Structure 1
Amino acid sequence: MAPDLPARLFDPDARARLQAVFEVDFDRPAVADLHQEDPQVLAGVDVLITGWGAGTIDDALLAAMPRLHAVHHAGGSVRDLVGEGCWRRAVRVTSSSDANAVPVAEYAVAMVLLSAKQAFRSQVVYRRVRAFVDREREFPSAGNHGAVVGLVGASRIGRNVIRLLRPYDLKVLVFDPFLSAAEAERLGVRSVGLDELLSRSSVVSLHAPLLESTRGMLGRRELALMQAGATLVNTARGALVDHDALVDELVSGRLWAVLDTTDPFEPLPASSPLYDLTNVVLTPHMAGAVGNELTRLGDHAVDSAISMFRGDSPVAGEVSEESAATMA
């Protein structure tokens, strides 16, 4: 992980809890690339705690860490972290995805509610006219009472969003091919096809993982199904959407968007027209854990490490090879 990340992940209490069970040297600087670590240090590693930017634990690293039996990731997806050799050697893996899902869902819900209220559009209008605004005439469809919100993906984050939206008077539609009608009813949402969701929703929020089957799942045809003036909120991966098609829709002014930019462009090219569009809210990958939220990830990783050491079952956040392949 990045050398300065441990100080932001682990507060004094987390450090003390970890050191009560394991031999941990917090004074030793973290390394961004484990391949550059002292081989003698690697040879004595039983448990590895990783963070963003850790690189892949490949066969070379596994050979250098013959005692390694557990990896606890203080971050989200482990798809690019855990090499196939880890699974072959039965190294146990946990992820703090549940902890990272909390701020992402909070961000998404805030943006959904503000979008349905047309807060972003009203700001643009007010700044332009600099005078009295007739709200009822200018924003006749604004508000969250009975508004239709579409969620693409009943993922870990998607389900958090569903839970957080429950107190509001919204009609929530969900598209997820793996969501059964019975489960949708239990969640208090309606399961529909993607086309119906896009055409009916005033706000569409993306929560699907980026897989080969979901890459570009919103193309020109799908974006054209959205209502004029509807808002697309993307706190998932940018590559879920055909970028050029989205830019065209946004430049035309037909759609609005809240984009927490991730791949394929992180950051967006400096020449991107999205920076200058008043119908686009851009943030630099802020939805996930940042600032004081990082300690939630550290606490989760420490809890998982201690739980696994004690022999608890199940261990919070434990990831299988199969589930790792579908992580966002």
Structure 2
Amino acid sequence: MLSASSNQPAIMDEKKKAVITAKLRSRDEERQNAILKRQEEKQAVNADGERLDFFLKTFKDEKKIIEEFINNCETLDNKSELADKFDEMSLAIQKLQQYVAECALFLPSSTLGRAQSDVSDLNTNLQKQKELMLPKKKFAFKNRKKYSEKPKPIVEKNQPEKSLTDVAVTKCNFSDRTGEILTKDPEEINKEDVALVNLSDCTVKLSGSPSAMHVNKLNGCKVFSGPVSSSIFIRNCTNCTFLLACHQLRIHETTNCQFYIHVTSKAIIEACNQITFAPYNWEYPGLDSHFQLSGLDTSQNAWDDIDDFNWLSADVHSPNWSLIPEEDRVKQWDP
């Protein structure tokens, strides 16, 4: 009969074996988990790679179409057809800009920056060709008039502004208000058209990234807006202050208003006077992400490059607009 002491080595061997088996099992599980994690990471990388490849191909194809028109538009003789084609290409650039914004979340920063720069270059080159092929009609006088005399307003063709009725029924809008603080958050206005109509002594705060903005008949108002991915049209406003960021800004029949702007193309004024400009400086939580969503190039701001359609002299500065001296600019706005 074996004694207890003689069974002890066998018991110890079993315990060691169990410990070793457990360690081997644990290592095997760790190895399997590591393999699974690498496979998931590889699949994620492949998915991002596929999305990036699709983006690059789509962007390249759309860019090529626009570039081909810019390079070959001189072959089109029909002025009406040419004007329509320029409008079509301008819309194509806006859509391409929006596409870049929608893909920004998964694009490498270098790719995103290059795409934004390419879109900006496309727009600049398109506008240069349009000015060359479809120059603004100049005035002809029997007797030369002095610049101090008010010239006849120039009306640009094919201007994509909405009528007052169309603006009033825009989904996101404020109209017919007096002395109120009016706000809309990103969930309401991101990628939506916004309209402001017939407001008096109101403060409007739009923290988000609208698709476009239409403003008509504001008096004594302050308007703060996040970055707009396409255009802002302003008409018939007096004694207002605007803080705006957009791709294209057009201001008509407006008097005694201040504009703090970030605009990626030359702003246009028409039939305006006492208009002043400074760089955009509104800050609020989420602004950076809204700039990214809008697709606007934060490094490009033509805030001080204004085209006055009612001023014919290229050598003398228009008396209808000026820059706000730095010491007179509002440095920080109330939240």
Q: Tell me the TM-score range normalised by the shorter chain.
A: under 0.3
Higher RCO (C-alpha under 8 Å, 6+ residues apart): 1
**If the length of structure 2 is used for normalisation, what is the TM-score?**
0.25
Give the number of the structure whose residues are more often strand, by fraction.
Answer: 2
TM-score, normalised to structure 1's length?
Answer: 0.26
Q: In terms of Rg, which structure is larger?
A: 2
